């Protein structure tokens, strides 16, 4: 993989060639990555993989006409051909009144902050990855009633992102990653259940012990055996942290500037209004050190900062790149996301809902009966209306005590109502790119098959 200076030189060269070919403005993004992974199953090696790749995307403007092209050929001849093709395509494009680079007066000035995202160390060997995967799987299989494995994996990776624009952006950063995961099957008389666990980190020392990951997967699978029958109806639903993050994903989609500009968001026209209960705060922080989704600048070269997207229940910001921001009549929000192809999108970085005051146990006991959801199935969410209906599995709870595992349920409501009444628990842990504590929705419709 090329180094940062080489990556910056390639993006700058692509922009320069585009301008010489007749573009009025241009930007280029280079994404490079390398990864190694090992998979095992039932103590035997299943697969060893190594991949490397890089791609440069070039976006050119001829006034309000725009075209994007990408290529993995970063030779001088390859970049020259890429630039000439991009300009030719732009000439044939129709005009877009909102097209353009980010406003020059808002660009990041000076170097991007160092967020400690890259571990400058020798990559773990395939043997070391194999031992990590085996230890993870062995710990899962050691749990009582766990009979089989769907496989365990361990991985290590590095990535690089570089961005250049014709109006002064020249920036790049690199990052590293380590991961471990396992999925196992528990069995008992009457059936079997599958569950999983995983963890990822920027630095190897921050990665959870493989045995702990495996034991958690095994315990989860065993706990789901022999699901009980219970009566459905209106009841409280608690979302376990590992599925509670899905509600934040639905929120971020609804806050997309492009969705709002198309008038296809259920939160349309709600800016500045209370959409969550008082006291609820949802944070986006691209500057978290060693964060899995951290970055020192956005995909258009704008500076980034920690923001309360929801503050005391009130909606404070969309996620808007420059083109949707122009359509909405606002400034870009610094949330642009850029890959090697097409125009920038927008979305959150490290995104979480702040912890509440009541513990998970107190939330479980807050209603006579509830469903604690640990797995969600299907994609039954309407982004335009907010209507929500998904398959669910987890545990049926009465008077704060888990009665037994539950499966085959469907939970339904509307995200607007869910957000307005939602209460976060006190058990927040910042472990992933999107995090949430246990979340209580006081009333949903629960149907049991």
> Angle between the 76-92 and 4-20 helix axes, to the nearest 10 degrees?
40
Give the integer Cα–Cα distance in Å for 369 and 255: 33
Q: Which residues contact 330 (CB under 8 A, 6 or more apart)?
A: 318, 320
Strand order in the sheet with 351-353: 314-315, 307-311, 282-284, 351-353, 434-435
Tokens of 353: 């809902």
Angle at 299 between CA 242 and CA 35, to 5 degrees: 60
Distances (CA, A) of 141 to 128, 192, 194, 204, 214: 20, 14, 12, 24, 8
All structural domains of the chain: 4-221 (3.30.2290.10), 227-449 (no CATH)
Average of pLDDT values for 30-48?
A: 98
Q: Which residues contact 105 (CB under 8 A, 6 or more apart)?
A: none
Give the integer Cα–Cα distance in Å for 40 and 357: 42
Please choose, from the candidates 119, 99, 102, 219, the residue with its C-alpha nearest in 3D space to the C-alpha of residue 163: 102
Average of pLDDT values for 297-309?
A: 98
Write out pLDDT tens, residues 59-86.
999 999 999 999 999 999 999 999 999 9
Average of pLDDT values for 1-17?
A: 96
| Residue 273 confidence (pLDDT) above 80 | yes
Q: Which residues contact 344 (CB under 8 A, 6 or more apart)?
A: 299, 300, 321, 322, 323, 336, 337, 338
Please choose, from the candidates 343, 264, 313, the residue with its C-alpha nearest in 3D space to the C-alpha of residue 419: 313
Write out pLDDT tens, residues 378-433.
989 999 999 999 999 999 999 999 999 999 999 999 999 999 999 999 999 999 99
User: So what's the pLDDT on residue 189?
Assistant: 86
Say whether pTM exceeds 0.85.
yes
User: So what's the pLDDT on residue 449?
Assistant: 79
Write out pLDDT tens, residues 280-301.
999 999 999 999 999 999 999 9
What does DSSP assign to residue 269?
A: T
| Residue 238 confidence (pLDDT) above 90 | yes
Average of pLDDT values for 195-205?
A: 98
Average of pLDDT values for 271-284?
A: 98
Is residue 89 very low, low, confident or very high in pLDDT (cuts 50, 70, 90)? very high
Is residue 362 very low, low, confident or very high in pLDDT (cuts 50, 70, 90)? very high
User: So what's the pLDDT on residue 268?
Assistant: 96
User: So what's the pLDDT on residue 255?
Assistant: 98
Tokens of 237: 């639903």
Please choose, from the candidates 16, 25, 104, the residue with its C-alpha nearest in 3D space to the C-alpha of residue 64: 25
In 111-135, which positions are buried (b, 16+ CB within 10 angstroms) versus exposed (e)?
eebebebbbeeebbebeebbbbbbb
User: So what's the pLDDT on residue 1?
Assistant: 82
User: So what's the pLDDT on residue 224?
Assistant: 96
127, containing H or E segment: helix 126-141
| Residue 190 confidence (pLDDT) above 80 | no
Average of pLDDT values for 23-29?
A: 98
End-to-end CA distance of the chain: 52
Sign of CA pseudo-dihedral 90, 93, 95, 99:
negative
86 and 24 Cβ atoms separated by less than 8 Å: no
Give the integer Cα–Cα distance in Å for 442 and 421: 7
Phi, psi at residue 228, to the nearest 5°?
A: -95, 165
């Amino acid at each position: 993989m090329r180094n940062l200076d080489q990556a910056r030189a390639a993006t700058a060269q692509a922009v320069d060639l585009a301008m010489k070919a007749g573009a009025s403005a241009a930007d280029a993004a280079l994404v490079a990555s390398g990864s190694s992974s090992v998979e095992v199953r039932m103590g035997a090696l299943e697969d060893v993989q190594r991949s490397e790749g890089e791609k440069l995307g070039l976006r050119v403007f001829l006034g309000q006409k725009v075209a994007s092209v990408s290529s993995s050929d970063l030779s001088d001849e390859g970049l020259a051909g890429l630039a000439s093709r991009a300009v030719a395509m732009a000439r044939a494009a129709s005009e877009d009144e909102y097209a353009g680079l980010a406003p020059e007066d808002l660009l990041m000035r000076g170097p991007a902050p160092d967020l400690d995202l890259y571990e400058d160390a020798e990559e773990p060997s395939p043997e070391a990855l194999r031992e990590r995967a085996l230890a993870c799987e062995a710990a899962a299989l050691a749990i009582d009633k766990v009979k089989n494995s769907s496989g365990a994996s361990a991985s290590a990776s590095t990535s690089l992102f570089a961005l250049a624009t014709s109006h002064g952006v020249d920036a790049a950063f690199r990052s590293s990653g380590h991961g471990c995961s396992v999925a196992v099957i528990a069995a008992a008389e009457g059936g079997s259940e599958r569950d999983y666990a995983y963890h990822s980190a920027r630095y190897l020392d921050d990665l959870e012990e493989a045995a702990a990951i495996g034991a958690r997967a095994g315990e989860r699978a065993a706990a789901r055996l022999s699901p009980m029958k219970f009566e459905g109806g209106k009841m409280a639903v608690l979302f376990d942290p590992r599925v509670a993050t899905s509600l934040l994903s639905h929120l971020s989609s609804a806050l997309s500037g492009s969705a709002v500009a198309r008038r296809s968001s259920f939160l349309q026209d709600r800016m500045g209004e209370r959409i969550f209960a008082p006291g609820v705060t949802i944070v986006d922080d691209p500057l978290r050190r060693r964060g899995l989704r951290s970055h020192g600048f956005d995909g258009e070269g704008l500076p980034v900062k920690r923001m309360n997207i929801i503050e005391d229940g009130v909606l404070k910001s969309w996620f808007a790149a420059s083109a949707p921001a122009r359509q909405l009549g606002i400034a870009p929000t610094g949330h642009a996301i850029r890959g090697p192809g097409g125009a920038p999108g927008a979305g959150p970085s490290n995104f979480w809902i702040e912890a509440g005051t009541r513990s998970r146990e107190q939330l479980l006991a807050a209603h006579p009966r509830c469903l604690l959801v640990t797995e969600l199935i299907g994609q039954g969410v309407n982004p335009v209306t907010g209507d929500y209906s998904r398959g669910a599995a987890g545990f049926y709870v009465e008077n704060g005590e888990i009665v037994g595992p539950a499966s085959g349920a469907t939970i339904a409501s509307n995200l607007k109502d869910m957000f307005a009444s939602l209460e976060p628990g006190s058990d927040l842990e910042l472990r992933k790119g999107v995090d949430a504590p246990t979340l209580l929705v006081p009333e949903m419709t629960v149907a049991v098959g």
